[in-house]
Amino acid sequence: MHHANHFYGHAHIMAKYAGLEHPTRIWGYLQHGWNILDGFAVGTPFVDGMPKFVWSDGVRRRGWSMDRRNYYIVGAPWIYLLENEPELAKQAPDAEGTIFYPFHGWEGQHVLGDHGRIVADINKYEEGPITVCLYWNEYRVPEIRRVYEEAGFRVITHGYRGLYWKKTDEEFLYNQLSELRKHKRVASNRLGSAIFYGISVGLQPGVYGDPMVLQNEHPSFGGVARQKRMWPEMHQPYVPMEIAEKIAHTELGTDYLASPEEIRELFRWEI
Average pLDDT over residues 213-217: 63
Domain ranges across the chain: 3-86+252-267, 98-247
More confident call, 160 vs 163: 160
Residue 217 has pLDDT above 70, yes or no: no
Q: Which of 57-71, 100-114, 191-205 is predicted least confidently?
A: 100-114
Phi, psi (degrees; rounded to nearest 5) at 145: -55, -40
- As a whole number of angstroms, the distance between CA 68 and CA 139 comes to 36
Name which of 85-89, 97-101, 146-150, 211-215 the model is least confident about. 211-215
φ, ψ for residue 112, nearest 5 deg: -110, 125
* Predicted confidence (pLDDT) per residue in 25-37, tens digit: 999 999 999 999 9
Distances (CA, A) of 72 to 6, 7, 258: 18, 19, 11
Which of 79, 124, 81, 119 has its CA nearest to residue 100?
119
Q: Which CATH class is domain 98-247?
A: alpha beta
In the predicted model, what is the mean pLDDT of residues 247-270?
A: 97
Task: List, as one string, the DSSP characters of 193-235.
Answer: HHHHHHHHTTPEEEE-S---EETT--GGG-HHHHHHHH-GGGS
- Whether the pLDDT of residue 218 is over 60: the answer is no
Residue 43 identity (one-letter amino acid)? G
CA distance 38 to 8: 20
Closest CA to 9 of 176, 135, 190: 176
